[in-house]
A and B are shown apart, each in its own frame.
Chain A
Amino acid sequence: MKKLFTAMIALLMVISLAACTSKPAEPTTPTEEPSAEVAEGKVLNVWTWNTEFWDFLGKYYADEVVDEYTLKKGDVTIKRTTYPSDGGAYQDALDAALLNQANAADDEKVDLFLAEADYILKYTNSDATMDVKTIGVTDFSNTYPYTVEAASDANGVVKGVSFQCCPAAVIYRRSIAKDVLGTDDPAEVQAAMSDWDKFNEVAAAAKAKGYYMIPTTNATYRVYSNNATSPWVVDGKLNIDANIEKWMDQSEEYVKNGYTAYTSNIWGDEATSEMFASGKSLCFFGPAWYFNFSMTNAQDPEKGCSGDWAICQGPQAWFWGGTWMLAATGTDNPTMVAEIMNTFINDEKVCDALVVNEAQFSNNQKVNNKYATDPNFGSEFLGGQNPNEVFAELAKNIKFQNVTSYDQLCNEGLQTYFTEYLDGQVATREDAINNFKDYIRTTYPSITVE
């Protein structure tokens, strides 16, 4: 009797455990749309580190926004999984999900995930992503070549697409420019800061008037790192490019001369507080997504200063990002994944809306160029300036090069540890670099650090 009882308990436990792990497959109901040949999953899982793309997906693709994390398209539920990008947390969680992809239930599988230029190689060069041409994304004729190149593996197989093109610019405060340079006209401001020497002269002039040239020394970091002539890792060894050294020189000088408001992280409260109307910083650096998505403080209806901004190329051409959608191997919704990708690069109506409503610089040359020459098109945030006119010109020269899959943490780490030197917390620049090297040594065992 007792044995029977124990056996039953044991059986019950096993069943309840099994019930947790393996859900019986839901019966697939035939879809109403005739176009769907094979029955596909009812849940599309999208992985992101912020809501930029997710909002566009809700507005321009889905039929219904159910809540912050759920959309509906036909009878398919689109779900969002988000982890913060900082410190590699997003990559970390995504890696775990992708490595478990084969064992995950269909509705739990990653279908579409976003990746940044800083680590996209890690995914494109692995089997975790698939050739999008096989699922029906074939027309890249309107996209910018660098966006396709960035999403391709070493053999040129395209694994994803970007919904944006990211030439970047100097985003300056019109009122401060007027006070310092006597003009806020983009062409004249550009002429005044067309190289780093001139930029420094403007910085001195701004200082004299009680302003700061930049909100934080880290604001210019991406301009220098993007113009590096060698990657972070060469033959398996950590390599600090000469251009990164130049950024260190500049930062040191700017702190010494008081040209910068802070030395903090560009995403932190300190630097972003400079975006308010009360801010004293002249120049921010970034592409279209930076001023339309990350400069929320400047757009604040009460404390912000929307309309008091304008863009110009600045001292050096560069680009930053953006965000690519990659198709995860093993997705049970290949048709929808392809449909989303095609929508954001080839559907002119959607690309149109991205440019007009969202101030994006879309990944469709035809649409972007149409607005670049449209005299009636202008951004309210930029005081009526046509951003496409600037970006269309800058987009021509973007080359995707010197990129490794380790870039995100190398970039974050270098800025963090060098800032300690700027703050006077380590004695020499070498100490700061040594701390950075320790960080890389611990973080990436595969990189040799000397």
Chain B
Amino acid sequence: MEKGTSSPKTRSISYAKWGYIFILPFFIVYAIFTLYPQLLTVYNSFFEYYRDGLTVVGPNFVGLANYKALFTANSAGYVPIFKFLGNTIWLWVIGALPQFTIAMLLALFFTSTRLNIKGQQFFKTVIYMPNLIMASAFAMLFFALFSQVGPVNQLLVSSGITQQPINFLGMRIYVQSLIGLMNFLMWFGNTTILLMAGIQGIDESLFESARLDGSTSTQVFFNITMPLLMPIFIYVFITSMIGGIQMFDVPQVLTNGHGIPDNTSTTLIMYLNNFLGISKNYGMAGAVSMLLFVITAVLSTFVFKTINKK
């Protein structure tokens, strides 16, 4: 042992390998828990592979049959996955629009040196609070609140606003609004804090000089804040969009997994989950996952490209 280490020629020490060794754990974990399942998903999407009762059917290679089935019209004459894609985007938009608007406003208020709002720490904690609750628990809470015999309806009836209790959880407009509202409530705090961090990163002297030059708040916002905030804004936008495409727990719990009414609140992941229900249909679920991957990649690239160009 002594001999091996005392060779005078190899005295120069390479620190590079330590870099690799330190990042190695991440790559091992990534390969086992992310890369391998991803590749398995792609692989499974070409197989007929599910359970019928306690009997496992397959895996039998079926080529592109799962993808074909995915794009086959149902008895009502439409392709289910397109409808669910539309639902997913719509449900994300109605939650994300108010989310970005309110978050941006709050971020501007909180960072404004002119307003200098007191008790910021308190407000930041409060608006972040809903995000700490598990989405499914949050949905469960709304489920109980808005049932036909729940407190909201009791309030509406006793105050005479409605004669009959409203079937909030059975009607499209209410179900979708509730999903949007919940997603908004859960995420606007998070977005506010990210945008605040972005705004605080902008050099304060720019705002000052703009003000000295007599520009209005609107001008400051559109000509200084927004352009410099763009990288953070794109990040927030894309993560929100990816989160939106993966929307699952809120509509799943609120509609008991059925996307009621008329499948108008069934999202892509709920559809995926239905395949993985009692039949553990890995083939079809794999095909849906692949499609989701493609959609996410395309949308992200598109958004990134268009916003970055400006």
Contact = CB atoms under 8 A, between A and B. Distances in A.
Interface of A: 1, 86-88, 91-92, 95, 98-99, 122-123, 125-126, 128, 262-264, 268-270, 273, 405, 409, 413, 416-417, 419-420, 423, 425-426, 431, 434-435, 437-439, 441-446, 449-450
Interface residues of B: mostly helix, strand, loop or mixed?
Answer: loop
Given A126-B55, A419-B170, A438-B75, 19 more contacts: A1-B1, A87-B256, A87-B257, A95-B278, A98-B54, A126-B53, A263-B170, A268-B147, A269-B150, A270-B147, A416-B256, A420-B260, A423-B167, A425-B262, A435-B263, A442-B274, A443-B279, A445-B52, A445-B57
A409 B50 contact: no
Contacts of A442: 80, 271, 274-275, 284
Q: Taking chain A's interface residues, is the majority helix, strand, or loop, or is none over half, making it mixed?
A: helix
B275 A446 contact: no
Interface in B250-287: 256-258, 260-263, 271, 274-275, 277-279, 281, 284
Contacts of A423: 167, 170-171, 261
A426 B278 contact: no
Contacts of A128: 54
A438 B80 CA distance: 8
Contact of A425 (B171, B256, B275, B284): B171
Nearest to A446: B52
Contacts of A273: 149
Interface in B224-274: 256-258, 260-263, 271, 274
Contacts of B54: 95, 98-99, 122-123, 126, 128
A442 B171 CA distance: 23
Contact of A431 (B55, B76, B147): B76
Contacts of B262: 420, 425-426, 431, 435
Interface string B134-165: 00000000001001111000000000000000
B74 interface: yes
Contacts of A87: 256-257, 277
A417 B281 contact: no
Nearest to A128: B54
Nearest to A427: B262
Given A88-B277, A98-B54, A262-B148, A438 B256 contact: no
A425 B261 contact: yes
Q: Which of A126, A268, A449 has the most CB of B within 10 A?
A: A268
B53 A405 contact: yes
A446 B284 CA distance: 13
Interface in B62-101: 74-76, 80
B211 interface: no
A296 B171 CA distance: 29
A426 B275 contact: no
A434 B74 contact: yes
A438 B147 CA distance: 26
A88 B278 contact: yes
A426 B263 CA distance: 10
A438 B263 contact: yes
20 contacts: A86-B256, A92-B278, A95-B278, A122-B53, A123-B54, A126-B55, A268-B147, A269-B144, A269-B149, A269-B150, A417-B258, A425-B171, A435-B76, A438-B263, A442-B271, A444-B279, A445-B50, A445-B57, A445-B281, A446-B52
A262 B54 CA distance: 37
B172 interface: yes
Contacts of A95: 51, 54, 278
A439 to B, nearest CB: 7
Looking at A273, A437, A438, the one whose CB has the most chain B CB atoms below 10 A away is A438
Contacts of B171: 423, 425
A419 B54 CA distance: 31
Nearest to A86: B256
B170 A425 contact: yes
Contacts of A431: 76, 262
Contacts of A91: 278
Interface string B170-192: 11100000000000000000000
A88 B75 CA distance: 24
Contacts of A99: 54
Nearest to B275: A442
Interface centre among B54, B57, B80 (most CB of A within 10 A): B54
Given A425-B172, A445-B284, A446-B57, A420 B261 contact: yes
A403 to B, nearest CB: 13
Contacts of A449: 75
B241 to A, nearest CB: 26
Q: Which of A420, A445, A450 has the most CB of B within 10 A?
A: A445
Nearest to A122: B53
Contacts of B274: 439, 442-443
Contacts of B75: 434, 437-438, 449-450
Contact of A264 (B57, B148, B279): B148
A447 to B, nearest CB: 9
Q: Which of B257, B278, B284 has the most CB of A within 10 A?
A: B278
Contacts of B74: 434, 437-438, 441
Contacts of B149: 269-270, 273
A405 B262 CA distance: 26
B147 A269 contact: yes
Contact of A446 (B256, B260, B261, B279): B279
